[in-house]
Amino acid sequence: MLFNQSSAISDYLLAAKMNYRVSDSYNAGINSLFSNDSLALYYFRRALENDPENKKAKFELEECKTRLNNKLLQL
């Protein structure tokens, strides 16, 4: 396998803690939407720390919260 998702996520989280390419947090959130809303929440929150006025990140953050809440209600 050329791509190990869990390893890539761990590496990215380590880079995020070290403030490497903080501006890429929004893009990482968008990429995470397809597989993990909880991880996407992390990235969108990180993007908002960097730019509190980022309307796209705010919108996607609320969408993730809604989806996660709906999943909880279905349990």
d(CA 17, CA 20): 8
What pLDDT sits at residue 53? 95
pTM (2 decimals)?
0.69
What pLDDT sits at residue 75? 81
Instruction: Tell me the C-alpha to C-alpha distance, in Å, between residue 9 and each of 5, 14, 44.
Output: 6, 9, 15
What are the tens digits of pLDDT across the range 13-54?
A: 777 677 666 567 888 888 888 888 988 999 999 899 989 999
d(CA 1, CA 52): 38
